[in-house]
Homo-oligomer: A and B are copies of this chain.
């Protein structure tokens, strides 16, 4: 295993130290418990709804990269590919609470669901009202290694954007939660892996793929997908992903979408844009012309080579929230460009 790390047990702490050193105007990292919050100058005012998310590390920039104005108040990073415990989730909740309640955005993995549930109970004991929103956008498999039901993957970023914009403009707890659930209900994703990743403290690749094989429907922890297929062209692979995602979403001509082509961490930008080119062609064929494109590394699996395709159906209200200003490490949109 060759990695630019010092100690397999310190990867999360040291990389978050680096993150805080690089972006002091946006975020702060707190130790014991380990959470990432907005920096002092960007904390929400009293009376605004708080918004947090979290989960195992290794999916950077998710979630810490989406802390900041217009998105999350705090992120709770667990160990690599392992849910954070209720303690740091509760610390993030206390930070985010401005007296108007806190929304949790939770990716559907058994550990995350359990730990965010426990934290929500702790919060209620401290009179902080919590609403939980589950994201389960991965259409590849119904149940998987770590999940009852569908997994939460790259669509999570879009749910965080919608909820974040809603909370930032001053919507109340029920409204922020309702809009986040509407976003979650209208987003679907699926991915493929061309190579596995290596979890630092494990030290060997999480699975083996043959020289000509692709893991189709792979999870963001390297969980098996729906099928192992022979390597094919970018267009053929994109079509498999697009068909499954668009059909499951029931996408129709004339609708508006976010089209997110997400790199898994080790995929060159040029390949992501070749995939986006095909997604755009397929959307045009389907009669979908109002597209908000996003191409890049948003929800990764360490150095995995692969890609996922996410589509989110937008109504007018969701579109406005996706277009709203944001200032985070990995999603910045100023008011002029929206």
A249 to B68 CA separation, bound complex (whole angstroms): 35
| A113 close to chain B: CB less than 8 A | no
Among residues of B, the one whose C-beta sits closest to the C-beta of A213 is B2
User: Given the interface contacts A195-B2, A237-B4, A337-B25, does A300 sit within 8 Å of B268 by beta carbon?
Assistant: yes
| A270 close to chain B: CB less than 8 A | yes
Interchain CB contact (< 8 A) of A21 among B271, B280, B334:
B280
A268 partner residues in chain B, CB cutoff 8 A: 58, 60, 265-266, 300, 302-303
A14 to B233 CA separation, bound complex (whole angstroms): 13
Digit string of A267-295 for contact with B (CB within 8 Å is 1, else 0)?
11111111111001000000000000111
Across the interface, do A21 and B276 meet the contact criterion of CB distance under 8 Å? yes
A60 to B271 CA separation, bound complex (whole angstroms): 10
Across the interface, do B303 and A305 meet the contact criterion of CB distance under 8 Å? yes
Among residues of B, the one whose C-beta sits closest to the C-beta of A3 is B271
| A307 close to chain B: CB less than 8 A | yes
Interchain CB contact (< 8 A) of A233 among B5, B277, B332:
B5
Across the interface, do B327 and A18 meet the contact criterion of CB distance under 8 Å? no
A233 partner residues in chain B, CB cutoff 8 A: 5-7
User: What is the copy number of this chain in the assembly?
Assistant: 2
Q: Which residues of chain A from 16 to 45 have a CB within 8 Å of any chain B CB?
A: 16-19, 21-23, 25
In the assembled complex, the CB of A296 is this many whole angstroms from the nearest CB of chain B, namely 9
Among residues of B, the one whose C-beta sits closest to the C-beta of A293 is B22
| A310 close to chain B: CB less than 8 A | no
User: Given the interface contacts A15-B274, A293-B23, does A267 sit within 8 Å of B4 by beta carbon?
Assistant: yes
Among residues of B, the one whose C-beta sits closest to the C-beta of A200 is B270
Across the interface, do A15 and B273 meet the contact criterion of CB distance under 8 Å? yes
User: Given the interface contacts A19-B273, A23-B293, A25-B337, does A5 sit within 8 Å of B234 by beta carbon?
Assistant: yes
Using a CB–CB cutoff of 8 Å, the interface residues on chain A facing chain B are 2-7, 11-12, 14-19, 21-23, 25, 57-58, 60-61, 65, 194-195, 211-212, 214, 231, 233-235, 237, 265-277, 280, 293-295, 297, 300, 302-303, 305, 307, 327, 332, 334, 336-337
Provide a sorted-by-A list of 19 A–B residue pairs whose CB atoms are within 8 angstroms.
Answer: A3-B234, A4-B234, A4-B267, A4-B275, A5-B233, A5-B271, A6-B234, A6-B235, A12-B270, A14-B277, A17-B273, A22-B273, A60-B270, A65-B269, A265-B266, A267-B303, A268-B303, A332-B337, A334-B334
